[in-house]
């Protein structure tokens, strides 16, 4: 059930993307031959005017077929015969539609759940912000030269890529009524010991059921799989994520000693010996931020800031992928996306919570889909926009057959990348 819902959700986002191309093509007078919902063999079609509207068998995405899109055409309304500006409008309309719908999804989600603001409500423990003179009630405006748009996601990604060096912060001192710039050193959390898995949430609590095994983690190397239930560590029985963490980090006298992990798999009890937990830590700013419900205009503003934040964070993640901050092994493809969405659907939460989480994921994935399509990689919309820019500069179009060849080569390369992501996603979600 979860996989089916995930496929339909992903198809909806792809359909929204293609709808953008379709509406823009119709608006500028380009001849559209077919607009299809889903892929594969045709189940049903109807022709209205010059366009065939089709429903196809495989519930995945959809597509728009325009006259002269991949070959030369004598039709004056063919895509290939339009001015670069019209072509660029049609090409960019797909990603823009994804970003627009992500904003709408975010508004639905934030209207129900509320949103975080930049107002500081608590400075926790040995907070580096407190040392710099920040006080409760001040507004946290920027970190490391980056403006804070959506506080929750921005601070999380800033800390994920943190290297521990001094950073400049800007905050608004509410008592003095002015902006203040200071330099701080981010704090470090205490060292914690982990086995390398994500637990399934049951009744709003982390369970002992493994939702995803991390790549290269001690559990993966030992052969522990997704859906295994951790029932015992050494001689201590565990039934929640908290009990597992407590045993690893508090109960054991020697935190670095190997443990014996006992799991239940399809009614069978399996024991894995000599699994050595690994130690890690994270950076922290030691603060809590205001969470509030808002009126329509406040929610719209929060949704806009969330959208801008997510767009920037996608670009930051791409940069990190190229400079080695994150590994290619952390990259997910369609299987990973389907697994993530499917796991949300399959949680034992109230239907309303599942629906809201699904809407949030659709918003996040839709923005990612829109921005990634603008990357100038062959076969993506961004590469076509780059080609149109070249055509504008040289004053005449490139041969459509050569453009089609570049797209074909890019499509093959894109398939290779997607296949490569399978080696990341399959161990996480299917093993």
Q: Are residues 7 and 104 in the same domain?
A: yes
CATH, residue 293: 2.30.42.10
| Mean pLDDT confidence for 267-280 | 91
Q: Is the pLDDT of residue 102 over 80?
A: yes
Neighbouring CB atoms inside 10 A of 18's CB total 19
CA distance 305 to 313: 12
Asked if residue 255 and residue 292 are part of one domain, the reply reads no
Is the pLDDT at 335 greater than 70? The verdict is no
| 170 & 287 share domain | yes
Mean pLDDT of 12-34: 94
Instruction: Give the contacts of 125 (CB within 8 A, at least 6 positions apart).
Output: 286
Q: Do 138 and 151 fall into the same domain?
A: yes
Assess whether 292 and 400 both reside in one domain: no
Domain assignment present for 342: no
Question: What is the Cα–Cα distance from 37 to 62, expressed in whole angstroms?
Answer: 5
Query: For residue 12, is it within any domain?
Result: yes
User: What pLDDT was estimated at residue 212?
Assistant: 81
User: Considering the chain, what is the average pLDDT of its residues?
Assistant: 86
Q: Are residues 150 and 290 in the same domain?
A: yes
Please count the structural domains in the chain: 3
89 and 197, same domain (yes or no): no
Nearest to 79 by CA among 303, 422, 391, 394: 391
Residue 301 resides in a domain: yes
Q: Which residue has the higher pLDDT, 90 or 12?
A: 90
Is 274 a member of any domain?
Answer: yes
Claim to verify: residue 322 and residue 240 sit in the same structural domain? no
107 and 117 assigned to the same domain: no
SS3 of residue 142 by DSSP:
strand
Backbone CA torsion sign across 64, 70, 74, 77:
positive
End-to-end CA separation in angstroms for the chain:
18
**Which helix H or strand E contains 290, and what residues bound it?**
strand 287-292
Give the pLDDT confidence score for residue 260 in this predicted structure: 95
State the residue range of the domain holding 202. Answer: 193-279
Is 354 a domain residue? Answer: no
pLDDT for 424: 63
Residue 131 vs residues 87, 123, 135: alpha-carbon distances, Å: 54, 10, 10
Which of 244, 279, 314 delimits the end of a domain?
A: 279
Q: What would the pLDDT profile of 343-357 be if each residue is shown by its tens digit?
A: 666 666 677 888 888
The pTM is what?
0.81
For residues 20 and 119, state if they share a domain: no
Q: Rounded to whole angstroms, how far apart are CA atoms 337 and 17? A: 17
Q: Are residues 390 and 400 in the same domain?
A: yes
Same domain (yes/no): 248, 394: no
Token representation of residue 303: 């949704």
How is 255-289 classified by DSSP, letter by letter? TTS-EEEEEEETTEEEEEEEE--EEE--EE--EEE
Structure confidence by residue, pLDDT tens digits, 110-133: 999 999 999 999 999 889 999 999
Query: Is there a domain that residue 31 lies in?
Result: yes
């Amino acid at each position: 059930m979860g996989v089916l819902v995930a496929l339909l959700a992903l198809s909806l986002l792809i359909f929204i993307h293609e709808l953008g191309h379709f509406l823009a093509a119709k608006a500028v007078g380009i001849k559209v031959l077919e607009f299809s919902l889903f892929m594969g063999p045709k189940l049903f079609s109807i022709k209205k005017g010059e366009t065939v509207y089709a429903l196809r068998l495989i519930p995945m995405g959809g597509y728009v077929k325009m006259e002269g899109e991949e070959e030369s055409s004598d039709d004056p309304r063919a895509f290939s015969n339009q001015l670069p500006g019209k072509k660029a409008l049609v090409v960019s309309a797909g990603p823009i539609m994804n970003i627009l719908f992500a904003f709408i999804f975010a508004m639905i989600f934030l209207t129900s759940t509320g949103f975080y603001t930049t107002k500081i409500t608590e400075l926790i423990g040995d907070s580096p912000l407190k040392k710099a003179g920040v006080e409760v009630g001040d507004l946290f405006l920027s970190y490391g030269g980056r403006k804070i748009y959506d506080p929750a996601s921005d601070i999380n990604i800033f800390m994920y890529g943190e290297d521990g060096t001094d950073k400049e912060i800007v905050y608004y001192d509410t008592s003095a009524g002015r902006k203040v710039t200071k330099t701080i050193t981010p704090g470090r959390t205490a060292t914690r010991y982990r086995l390398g898995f994500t637990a399934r949430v049951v009744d709003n609590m982390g369970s002992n059921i493994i939702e995803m095994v991390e790549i290269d983690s001690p559990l993966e190397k030992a052969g522990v799989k997704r859906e295994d239930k951790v029932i015992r560590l050494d001689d201590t029985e565990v039934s929640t994520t908290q009990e597992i963490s407590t045993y690893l980090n508090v109960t054991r006298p020697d935190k670095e000693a190997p443990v014996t992990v006992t799991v239940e798999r399809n009614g069978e009890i399996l024991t894995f010996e000599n699994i050595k937990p690994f130690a890690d830590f994270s950076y922290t700013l030691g603060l809590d931020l205001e969470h509030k419900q808002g009126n329509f205009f406040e929610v719209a503003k929060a949704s806009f800031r969330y959208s801008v934040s997510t767009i920037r964070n996608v670009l930051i993640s791409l940069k990190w992928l190229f400079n080695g901050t994150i590994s290619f092994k952390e990259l997910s493809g369609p299987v990973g996306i389907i697994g993530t969405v499917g796991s949300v659907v399959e949680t034992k939460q109230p239907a309303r919570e599942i629906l809201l989480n699904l809407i949030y994921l659709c918003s996040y994935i839709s923005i990612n889909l829109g921005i990634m399509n603008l990357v100038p990689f062959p076969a993506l919309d961004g590469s076509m926009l780059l080609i149109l820019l070249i055509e504008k500069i040289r004053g005449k179009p490139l041969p459509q057959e050569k453009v089609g060849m570049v797209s074909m080569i890019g499509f093959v390369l894109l398939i290779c990348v997607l296949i490569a992501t399978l080696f990341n996603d399959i161990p996480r979600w299917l093993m």
